[in-house]
Structure 1
Amino acid sequence: MPMATTRAQKMICLSALFLAWAVGYADRIVMSTAIIPISKEFALDAQQAGMVLSAFYVSYALMQLMGGWLSDRYGSRIVVVMCVVAWSLFTGLTSMAWSFASLLLIRFLFGAGEGCFSPASSVTVAEVFPQQERARAKSFLISTVFLGNAVGSGMVALTVVYLGWRGTFHILAFVGMIVAAILWLALRSGMAAQQARSAARPKNQLRELVKNPTALRLTAIWFCTSIVYIGMISWMPSFLLKVYQIDLLHIGIASAIPYLLAFLGTNVVGWLLDKHGKGREKYFMMGGALACAVFLALMISTTVIELLVVYWTLCLLSFNFVYATVFSVPLKHFPSHLIGSATGLMNFGGQLAGSIAPVVMGSLIVAFNGAYLAAFWFLVGSAMMSFLIAMTWRLAPPAAPAATLPETSSSHTS
């Protein structure tokens, strides 16, 4: 018999996951700002800085597939909590780096620690929320990328200026450990449902997944779109500092505006997907990718900082349509036993892009004698590629499941 989940239980789980997502993204975004004083301390050039920024995404990508499989197999609670503990540990160790090589190693381990979290949280959403509420729940969680970046950009810039980059990593590590404890307590109510699902899951999930054309195209779309987003967040602080001569503190303030509006925008897109998105996912992704390319091109063409912030905001709002859609499709259209693995596969593609984008952009900046134009046009090209792939996307008819899995039901509807 399906496990009933009350409104209070859903809100507690969602709030705890939201907090973890926000802290995780703040931990990530700190390096984009901290890389400026770190580069000075360790005498890094743009190419080396790009390698430090990319090191996280290499291991993060590799762990996505394992995280999805572990969560589908054993339930999400233990995977989610251990991820937060691991990434908080390596966030703290980042403050102890003493060289370029040690930075690369610690950031690589940090990515491995956080890598399982995203697919595991998707499994938690499927365990707690009924299908008709999942796009809103998932969009609320993934919108923390923008809230984490907004708060992270402002607060991190403030702490880096006044406490130094090492002190900033100490604070984030401490906060992360507190969040891990909160998660362990908040997710207890889902253990019975996790155990029931685990017993019923069929074998050969990966084989079933890689034969699904919907999952493969979603992965390709997310790969191209992630190049755009990760490339922007990795190099925008340096771009603003060098091209517009803005100091660290004001970079944080300028960055917060687009991210806060994008946080709201992601939740609006999630609502639209639940209410009006059925059968229209392709157009959400196409329109978002195309508009993202247009506003990014306008952003790098202007010399007025106010216009740059406007175009940057519109670019992120456009990105939301791809972002929310990609991650809601598995929750709404895939069999329950594939949700974590599908999310892991898509995130693998996205984080593989993250391991490429900062290094490619850093190399282009070096090749063009410190100019950023070619590096940002590389992002425009990636957005257009996402648009072209989205044109070919269609929802594959569902395969007959190997076993019927219990679906989460709710005693309340929202």
Structure 2
Amino acid sequence: MKFRHRVLTGLFLLSTITYLDRVCMNVVSKYVKADLHLNNQQFGWILGAFSLSYALFEMPTGSLGDKIGPRRILARVVLWWSGFTALTGTAFNFISLLLIRFLFGAGEAGAYPNASIVIARWFPAIEIGRAQSVIWAAGRLGGALTPLLVIPLVHWAGWRWSFGILGIVGILWATAWYVWFRDEPAAKEGISDEEVLEIERGRKIKYSDHQIPWKNVLRNPDLWALMLMCHLFFYGSYFFTNWSSVYFQEGRGLTEEDTKTFISLSYFLGAIGCITGGFLSDVLTKQYGLKIGRRAVGIGGLGLSSLFFLMAGLTTNNQTAGYLLAVCVLLKDLALPVAFAVCVDIGQRNAGVVAGAMNFAGQLGGFFITILFGIIVEQTNNFNYPLFMIAGCLLVSALLWLRIDPTRPVAIN
């Protein structure tokens, strides 16, 4: 196995743990709400606190990773969020849980921008799409495993101890990563000279200068289009991350067992979508160029997902709605690794800043849909209205890919 594939294995585990910790609150929502006496509107603010802090700390941690390297940053952020994952089980009321989830999000921010920095430094340009697809497929695998692992764990130990156990897993990863990983391939003991040359010849990025040209970055229209695309994209993503359990059980009247099945199926199909999207984008890029290779997957995946969200909201059959929503995840996640590949395409040596900016906008979308879902449902008692809104957001997100040009770097000094 080449050393860069071992690095990718480490990122695979990172992404899996990220989504285990992130989706856990969705899976145990009915227990937390009952124990702390929370309604859906209050629970929406608790879920939204994570998204807001995640958004606020995305660009700073992405920028810091560009400057001092992803080894130290990833170790620090995983230790931080794992600590607050464990502390989630100590919450005793609305305010305490709100604060803990806000600090949890602040810690988890920067995980994916810094993973993009690792990919930018360790992989040739032609392998970026597929490397991103593996990372995001791992996140979906983590989401698929969460209900299968956490629900039995909750029945055995309670929801509070479940968070403590998940926190320990993250601490073990952070320790191993810091000891083993190195920021540059040439600095890693045991890697062959041939692989170092293969990586360095295949990448466009140089690290002699860590000055960030903020004016050029923030004036770039492709970056703004990318940020708005991700903002609207994440309206769909955070429905599944935060509200799918409540939707299936309270909105559709499904059992906990059926809910567990549909959430796991959704994330499993999402993993397939991530792998397919990344590899398909690289294949199309090789045949038709970078612009078509990235845009075709983004437009197709998000456009079709919009249609399936609409159909899920319109159907009166609860089981059909579950399957339609599962397919939504597969389709929209075709575009996910492609979006982060574009961050490397146009960000180059500032890939962490660009990924952080895009994910910042995306997390704001996650914050808004999380809050809006709780408010709309609490005020109207209709769980399908938010799905119609999400369908419209995904359609606009698909069309924005026509404005994103992955061939133009955000800054050239």
Same fold (TM over 0.5): yes
Task: Check whether the contact 1:205–1:337 (CA below 8 A) recurs between aligned residues.
Answer: no
2:401 matches 1:393: no
Task: Check whether the contact 1:72–1:337 (CA below 8 A) recurs between aligned residues.
Answer: yes
2:234 matches 1:226: yes
Q: CA offset at residue 258 of structure 1?
A: 2.1
Q: CA offset at residue 244 of structure 1?
A: 3.3
Q: CA offset at residue 45 of structure 1?
A: 1.1
- 2:29 maps to 35
Structure 2 residues not aligned, in runs of 5+: 189-199
Q: Which amino acid aligns with 1:316?
A: V
Q: 1:293 to 1:199 in 2, by over 3 A?
A: closer
Q: 1:271 to 1:100 in 2, by over 3 A?
A: same
Task: Check whether the contact 2:11–2:115 (CA below 8 A) recurs between aligned residues.
Answer: yes
Structure 2 residue aligned with 1:381, among 361, 381, 392?
A: 392
Secondary structure of the residue aligned to 2:182 is helix
Q: Give the whole-Å Cα distance in 2 for the aligned partners of 1:193 and 1:209.
A: 30
Q: 1:266 to 1:51 in 2, by over 3 A?
A: same
Q: CA offset at residue 335 of structure 1?
A: 4.8
Q: Give the whole-Å Cα distance in 2 for the aligned partners of 1:62 and 1:361.
A: 21
Secondary structure of the residue aligned to 1:321 is coil
Matches within 5 A, 1:338-377: 338-368=350-380, 370-377=381-388
Task: Check whether the contact 2:63–2:352 (CA below 8 A) recurs between aligned residues.
Answer: yes
2:337 matches 1:324: yes
Q: Which amino acid aligns with 1:200?
A: S
Q: CA offset at residue 168 of structure 1?
A: 0.8
- 2:193 maps to none
Q: Which amino acid aligns with 1:168?
A: S
2:67 matches 1:70: no
- 2:114 maps to 120
- 1:306 maps to 319
Q: 1:48 to 1:42 in 2, by over 3 A?
A: same
Task: Check whether the contact 2:144–2:268 (CA below 8 A) recurs between aligned residues.
Answer: yes
Q: CA offset at residue 125 of structure 1?
A: 0.8
Give deviations 1:313-338, integer Å, cap 9, x for gaps.
2211210232122111122x225321
Q: TM-score, normalised by structure 1?
A: 0.90
Give deviations 1:249-284, integer Å, cap 9, x for gaps.
432122111211221221111111112132212232
Give deviations 1:268-323, integer Å, cap 9, x for gaps.
11111112132212232222221111001111222334322331222112102321
Matches within 5 A, 1:28-177: 28-177=22-171
Q: CA offset at residue 8 of structure 1?
A: 2.9
Q: Give the whole-Å Cα distance in 2 for the aligned partners of 1:372 and 1:161.
A: 27
Q: Give the whole-Å Cα distance in 2 for the aligned partners of 1:93 and 1:399.
A: 40
Task: Show structure 1 runs of 4+ deviating over 4 A.
Answer: 191-194, 196-199
Q: CA offset at residue 82 of structure 1?
A: 0.7
- 1:241 maps to 249
Q: 1:162 to 1:313 in 2, by over 3 A?
A: same
Residues 163-172 or 279-288, more deviating: 279-288
Secondary structure of the residue aligned to 2:211 is coil
Residues 203-212 or 33-42, more deviating: 203-212
Q: Give the whole-Å Cα distance in 2 for the aligned partners of 1:199 and 1:126.
A: 11
Q: Which amino acid aligns with 2:350?
A: L
Structure 1 residues not aligned, in runs of 5+: 1-6, 403-414
Q: CA offset at residue 347 of structure 1?
A: 0.5
Q: Give the whole-Å Cα distance in 2 for the aligned partners of 1:198 and 1:94.
A: 41
Q: 1:43 to 1:357 in 2, by over 3 A?
A: same
Q: CA offset at residue 165 of structure 1?
A: 0.9
Secondary structure of the residue aligned to 2:20 is helix
Q: CA offset at residue 145 of structure 1?
A: 2.5
Task: Check whether the contact 2:267–2:329 (CA below 8 A) recurs between aligned residues.
Answer: yes
Give deviations 1:336-355, integer Å, cap 9, x for gaps.
32111000000000111111
Task: Check whether the contact 1:71–1:340 (CA below 8 A) recurs between aligned residues.
Answer: yes
Q: Give the whole-Å Cα distance in 2 for the aligned partners of 1:399 and 1:388.
A: 21
Q: Which amino acid aligns with 2:312?
A: M
Task: Check whether the contact 1:55–1:104 (CA below 8 A) recurs between aligned residues.
Answer: yes
Task: Check whether the contact 1:206–1:341 (CA below 8 A) recurs between aligned residues.
Answer: no
Q: Give the whole-Å Cα distance in 1 for the aligned partners of 2:411 and 2:102.
A: 39
Structure 2 residue aligned with 1:286, among 294, 299, 310?
A: 299
Identity of matched residues, %: 27
Q: CA offset at residue 228 of structure 1?
A: 1.3
Task: Check whether the contact 2:223–2:410 (CA below 8 A) recurs between aligned residues.
Answer: no
Secondary structure of the residue aligned to 2:153 is helix
Give deviations 1:69-120, integer Å, cap 9, x for gaps.
1011111100011111011000011110111000000000000111021111
Q: Higher relative contact order by CA 8 Å / sep ≥ 6: 1 or 2?
A: 1
Q: TM-score, normalised by structure 2?
A: 0.90
Q: Give the whole-Å Cα distance in 2 for the aligned partners of 1:70 and 1:349.
A: 18
Give deviations 1:110-162, integer Å, cap 9, x for gaps.
00111021111110111111111111111110122211110012212222233
Q: 1:157 to 1:199 in 2, by over 3 A?
A: same
Task: Check whether the contact 1:21–1:144 (CA below 8 A) recurs between aligned residues.
Answer: yes
Q: CA offset at residue 55 of structure 1?
A: 0.7
Q: Give the whole-Å Cα distance in 2 for the aligned partners of 1:147 and 1:398.
A: 32
Q: CA offset at residue 356 of structure 1?
A: 1.1
Structure 2 residue aligned with 1:200, among 195, 208, 224?
A: 208
